[in-house]
Amino acid sequence: MDPSIIRQLRKIVGSEAVLDRPEELMMYEYDGGVDRSRPGAVVFPETTQHVSGIMRLASQTKTPVVPRGAGTGLSGGAIASKEAIMLAMARMNKILEIDVANQRAVVQPGVVNLEVSNAAAKFGYYYAPDPSSQKACTIGGNVAENSGGPHTLAMGVTVNHVTGLEVVLPDGRIVEFGGKSQDSCGLDLTGFFVGSEGTMGVVTKAIVKLTKLPEAVATLLAIYNSVEDAANTVVAITQSGVTPAALEMLDGWMVRCVEENVHAGYPMDAGAVLLIELEGMKEAVEEQAEAVSAVCLQAKAREVRRAKTEQERQLLWLGRKTAFGAVGRVSPAYYTQDGVIPRTKVPATLAEIERISQKYGLIIGNVFHAGDGNLHPLILFDSRDPKQMEDSHKAGNEIMECCIRFGGSITGEHGVGLEKKNFMPRLFTEDDLEVMIKLRNAYNPDSILNPQKMIPELRFCREITGPLPEAKVEPVSGIPV
């Protein structure tokens, strides 16, 4: 990177808040996904004014800027090129206000997701969106990717829980959208920015909803001899009229992987399990627990267990939340997908994933948000074997094509980023993409903010007539890809 830009960055944020040595930059060349590239510099702003100053400098010098949260993203959204400034938001990590009266929290983007719930718990509240990485991921990254989680089935994803944003635009202007009220007049620019993957502005403050902790919670583990029976139960629960707070599914391979890792009480001989949580008023929860148990048994569950203590409940959820990490014990690398399908297509899609697994001779473990059809197939491969690497991406492409064919989407919460932008022409028409590009350009006309992410250029879209080009993968030692 141009040494003069490094000097100006140090004037804005201080010498200790800028990294530019190769050995320092190595730690910021990847996120939780498959792509890898080393930035030109990493900068740690501590105030909104710092971010504004950095963006003004970037705008003047036409230097690309890539915002980064905790680096837990799985779509390459925080990958920066060697010419880019990486804007690491880790030091903007304060909870500015817990407003119990209005059921709101005001937080900086570097606040870890779980810390919001921990801070609100003493008042009887929590923050509902709970990605599996909630102990590490940050609110800024959640806003950028519109993150979900197991407990968003009934409550909604991030966009449903953000009512206001402070945003620094690419030219350095500081703007505010929304506020603490439920609704605001004018265009819903708060909702527009959530899920824009850092391509339109940098969030420096977020106002999020706090939800009252439920009076009662029932956690059920439905155990099946086959994946098909578990998948059919998802459809049956939906048709029963009961909407659980969470409805998660693990296939038999994932069950054994998780149980060997955390000893959570999952049956090692199961073909699949459903982890179902119901919450609300005590009487209603009891009725729903009985109704859901009956549906599961009718749909060929061999057993339905209910967590008897909070410790049992936490253990079951520990197994689900650490499932991705558990796979790291048995495979040198894995490739995580994030497709979405209609819930009624869960059985057919899982059958197709099994076919793809057999076709390429690769293990594909399934752990996912079954209630809203958000799949997370984990494709295991050995990164030292070029053919396995190639086949893992072919398998991933086929799974995405399957999701599109069944009327779904290419991402439910991980974002499009670098990983899936070449799929966008499969999902949207050229006119659709042209509108998206015009909206992005209204805020980011020079494409300096998170360039080459989410939306492919129209020229590229016109060139896609056959199979998708294979993604280039450079595994990072010790990092699951």
**pLDDT digits 0-9 by tens, 22-57:** 999 999 999 988 788 999 999 999 999 999 999 999
Q: What pLDDT, in 10s, does the model give residues 426-466?
A: 999 999 999 999 999 999 999 999 999 999 987 666 655 45
Q: Phi and psi at residue 309, in whole multiples of 5°? A: -130, 165
Mean pLDDT score across all residues of the chain: 93
End-of-domain residue from the set 71, 88, 105? 88
CATH code of the domain covering residue 131 = 3.30.465.10
pLDDT of residue 283: 97
Identify the helix (H) or strand (E) that includes residue 439.
Answer: helix 430-443
CA distance 68 to 86: 7
261 and 312 both lie in a single domain: yes
Give the 3-state secondary structure of residue 160: helix
Closest-CA residue to 455 (of 203, 196, 202, 201): 196
Tell me: do 379 and 320 sit in the same domain: no
CA 455 to chain centre: 18
Vertex 113 angle, CA 76 and 186, to 5°: 85
Going by the DSSP 8-state scheme, the letter that residue 158 receives in this structure is G
Question: Are residues 338 and 316 located together in one domain of the fold?
Answer: no
pLDDT value for 463: 59
Q: Tell me what percent of the chain is helix, strand and coil, each rounded to the nearest 5.
A: 40, 20, 40
Q: Do the beta carbons of residue 104 and residue 190 sit within 8 Å?
A: no
295 & 206 share domain = no
- Model confidence at 467, in pLDDT bands (50, 70, 90)? low
pLDDT confidence of residue 461 = 63
CATH number at residue 346: 3.30.70.2740
pLDDT greater than 70 at residue 135:
yes
Residues 6+ apart with CB under 8 A from 243: 153, 154, 371
Q: How many domains does the chain have?
A: 4
Question: Which residues touch 139 (CB under 8 Å, ≥6 apart)?
Answer: 107, 108, 109, 110, 111, 112, 113, 116, 206, 208
Query: Cα separation of 374 and 248, whole Å?
Result: 10
Nearest to 90 by CA among 63, 59, 58, 68: 68
Q: Average the pLDDT over 195-204 and give the result.
A: 97
Residue 197 lies in a domain: yes
- pLDDT score of 63 more than 90: yes
State what percent of residues in the chain have pLDDT above 90.
90
pLDDT one-digit tens code per residue, 136-157: 999 999 999 999 999 999 999 9
DSSP 164: E
Token look-up 């627990």 returns: 289
Number of H helices, E strands in the chain: 17, 18
In a domain, 478, yes or no: no
- 480, part of any domain: no
> 């966008």: which residue's tokens?
424
- Give the per-residue pLDDT at 476: 34
Of the pLDDT bands very low, low, confident and very high (cuts 50, 70, 90), residue 332 is confident
Within a domain: 300? yes
pLDDT in tens, 349-366: 999 999 999 999 999 999
| Residue 446 counted as domain residue | yes
33, 63, 88 — which closes off a domain?
88
Last residue of a domain, one of 188, 212, 236: 212
For residues 82 and 100, membership in a common domain is answered with: no
Residue 298: which domain range?
216-327
Cα–Cα dist 78/67, whole Å: 6
Q: What is the pLDDT of residues 283-317, one digit of tens each?
A: 999 999 999 999 999 999 999 999 999 999 999 99
User: Residue 380: is its pLDDT beyond 70?
Assistant: yes
Same domain, 201 and 155: yes
Inside any domain, residue 341: yes
Q: In sequence order, what are the beta bridge partners of 208?
A: 105, 162
Q: pTM value?
A: 0.92
Cα 84 to Cα 199, 205, 316, 449, distances in angstroms:
14, 23, 42, 9
> How far apart are the two ends of the chain, measured CA to CA in Å?
28
- 64-78, 267-281, 384-398, 464-478 — which is least confidently predicted? 464-478
Same domain, yes or no: 135 and 27: no
Report the candidate in 20, 52, 31, 51 with the shortest Cα–Cα distance to residue 414: 31
Sign of the dihedral defined by the CA atoms of residues 129, 130, 136, 141, in that order? negative
